[in-house]
A and B are shown apart, each in its own frame.
Chain A
Amino acid sequence: MSILVNRDTRVICQGITGKVGEFHTRGCLEYGTRMVGGVTPGKGGESVAELPVFDTVLEAVTATGANATMIFVPPAFAADAILEAVNAGIELVVAITEGIPVLDMARVMPVVHASKSRLIGPNCPGIITPAECKIGIMPGYIHAPGHVGVMSRSGTLTYEAVWQLTQLGHGQSTCVGLGGDPLVGTSFVDLLQMFEEDPETHAILMMGEIGGSAEEEAAAFVKDHVTKPVAAFIAGRTAPPGKRMGHAGAIISGGKGTAEAKLDALRSAGIEIAESPADMAIALAKALGKRRK
């Protein structure tokens, strides 16, 4: 078991004929993901990596029974690609594309929320259930199957954490990159709930960063609803204040958003904190050693 993706997940790639889309489609295939096709408008009938290419997502879904998509469409058209996937009824939409205008995502969000689709990203490394299914750009070999759920707002920091876990002998149930943009489809809270309900996930490691209030919300959720051990690292503790103009964001979050506020919230929820990024897996091991409740 795992969350969101497993060996039965049938995946298409939107933007499969692009250089990056093709490269990572091949990477996913090599990892063992059930890639079943791709979509590029105007290139229907072609094939990439021996997979059929379709003009529309709907055609791809009808022909292949795909239930997940990996989006590598260029930023200007990516929001539309997400809408197309949602409209075609795809259950899991993983948007890798970086640099989608924020207001485009603000237009997409209500549609995603009103649908049955789950959006991961954009601007994320993707999602992987080790040894079963990789949808995204992460290097597969650093992962090992196991029981730690991993979630993060950044890419290479996730690789770092996963690598530390694997080295320490802690395999992963599923690893999810939420994405670094201001508006993303899936939050820590969404994943905490899924990991809590997943019997194969025994502990959770999360990597947050300064800005916004996603980590505080996660801490509040852990306090009330999560029984499994949780460890966390927050990036940006040393990022100095006072350099940029415009601070209206701080009003929205009501003083939240600093690393210290996030760490306080996480600690008060009984979450084990990694003080150094070198100790993320060690913090998880410590959390496993203690019972939270």
Chain B
Amino acid sequence: MNATIQQEPVDAVGELNRRLYPPARQLALSAWKWLRFVPIVSARRETKPRVSARKRLPMKIHEYQAKDLLRAAGVPVLAGRVVQTPQEAVAAYKELGTSVCAIKAQIHAGGRGKGTIKGSSQHGVELAKNADDAARIATGLLGNTLVTIQTGPEGQVVRKVFVESGCAIDRELYCAVLVDRRVGSPVLIASTAGGVDIEQVAEKTPELIVSEPFDPDRGLASFQTRVLASKLLLPASTWRNADAFFRKLCHAFVSLDASLLEINPLVLTKEGEFIALDAKMTFDDSALFRHKNIASLRDEAEEEPAETLASAAGLSYVKLSGNIGCLVNGAGLAMSTMDLVKYHGGEPANFLDVGGGANVEQVTEAFKIILSDKHVKAILVNIFGGIMRCTTIATAVVEASRSIGFTVPLVVRLEGTEVEEGKKILANSGTSIITADGLTDAAKKVVAAAKAVV
């Protein structure tokens, strides 16, 4: 359906096999198959930031929550228990009863397997072969900070761990369901390259990724799962199981209004079963109104506190690493304002969209959120008043700045409806607000102000 799928030539299978499993790797694999009951979750990297024109960001949940949802939808997952103390981890290990269990840190970020706990060499996912292992690993994780390639250097505190039983792995695959903008429908994508950095696979060997679009109501058809199974070089004896797995997965995606459902790795066991060994799910915030049970899975402890506050106030906020706070109406203009600040030598501290009809309360909340970031040295307000009058926003800015009483320089650029009156309100406010004429002037002023503070 898209450019990433290419019809393989006749010797495709042989070629694919050679590329995927060169002799050395095949040997290593056969050893691993027996030793490695539960593969380490691969490190993955997000290269595409989710600063889009969407009001809010997709809601994330933990792996154990995603697996509960998948289990309920009939998608095979392993038995597991989520625990918050080492004692509970030991009890869970004993209860699960497999000789090897995986102890997995539950944080809202990927790359856990390769990530390490601050101040120790412990990884975010480790295997326990006995009860003592389980206690030791859980102790090392709980309450400590896990740094992965996705968390940034500050890391994330591990508050829960998931103790999961093991299985005998034959092969690891990758699969994900998401909505493809170009096709205009959900698609199932899969690759023989499981457990690795799928983005690199997409970039370097796109022919190893296969994808099938499907209608949300009809779901994935069986012939499509056969197409996938044959492209994934799955033995024919497993096709029936593959069909059930993929169709149930797609059904789960649709019925839960997910925006991403990623299984990496998806494993084929020695017994020919397909199991979702990891599960990453995010949801379409716009559809949460019809999924109260999913909305209740939100774990605010895992979210940037300022982003949670912003979301509650109906604002869209993403924290960045610079020192110039930005308050803008409209997502496109907000992104452009960040670009503008950077273009003039500054570093934006955040993305913040107050939306189309911001009032005094929202603007006040927006200022509080921006100022909760202690790195902020100056603030730029950039409003293009369309439906929202500049007088309204000017009044809100003045009132908010008075009620909060902040000390960092504030540069305000207004344009649009009732702009002159708005500027007068700012000028006559008796506050130290710096007014700017035009985008460039505003950017230069705020960058200079931030540098002057230091």
Contact = CB atoms under 8 A, between A and B. Distances in A.
A236 B260 contact: no
Contact of A277 (B45, B209, B257, B340): B340
B332 A209 contact: yes
A247 B47 contact: yes
Interface size class of A (residues with CB under 8 A): 35 or more
A213 B2 CA distance: 12
Given A160-B333, A181-B53, A240-B320, A137 B203 contact: no
A62 interface: no
B337 A102 contact: no
A248 B260 contact: yes
A213 B330 contact: no
B363 to A, nearest CB: 16
B287 interface: yes
B432 interface: no
11 contacts: A106-B184, A109-B184, A154-B333, A156-B330, A157-B336, A160-B333, A245-B109, A246-B46, A247-B198, A251-B189, A254-B3
B224 interface: no
A98 B54 CA distance: 9
Contacts of A258: 47-48
Given A242-B45, A251-B4, 14 more contacts: A99-B55, A101-B284, A105-B184, A110-B215, A157-B332, A236-B51, A238-B338, A239-B335, A239-B351, A240-B49, A250-B199, A252-B181, A276-B440, A278-B439
Nearest to A105: B184
**Most chain B beta-carbon contacts within 10 A, residue among A113, A141, A156:** A156
Contacts of A233: 336
Nearest to B417: A139
Interface residues of B, number: 90
A163 B110 CA distance: 43
A141 B389 CA distance: 13
Contact of B49 (A105, A213, A239): A239
A154 B54 CA distance: 10
Contacts of B439: 160, 276-278
B280 interface: yes
A233 B335 CA distance: 12
Given A101-B257, A163-B415, A236 B339 contact: yes
Contacts of A247: 44-48, 198-199
A138 B49 contact: no
Interface of B: 2-4, 44-55, 57-58, 60, 108-110, 149-150, 152, 176, 178-182, 184-187, 189, 198-199, 202-203, 206, 209, 211, 215-217, 254, 257, 259-260, 262, 280, 282, 284-287, 289-290, 318, 320-321, 328-333, 335-343, 348, 351, 356, 384-387, 415-417, 438-440, 443
**Most chain A beta-carbon contacts within 10 A, residue among B44, B181, B262, B318:** B181
Nearest to B217: A107
Chain B interface, DSSP helix/strand/loop, else mixed: mixed
A211 interface: yes
Nearest to B180: A252
B262 A246 contact: yes
Contacts of B206: 254
**Most chain A beta-carbon contacts within 10 A, residue among B179, B199, B257, B318:** B179
Contacts of A240: 49, 320-321
A293 interface: no
B378 to A, nearest CB: 17
Contact of B343 (A100, A110, A138, A275): A275
**Most chain A beta-carbon contacts within 10 A, residue among B180, B280, B320:** B180
Contacts of A257: 48
A153 B53 CA distance: 8
B131 to A, nearest CB: 32
A143 to B, nearest CB: 11
A155 B330 contact: yes
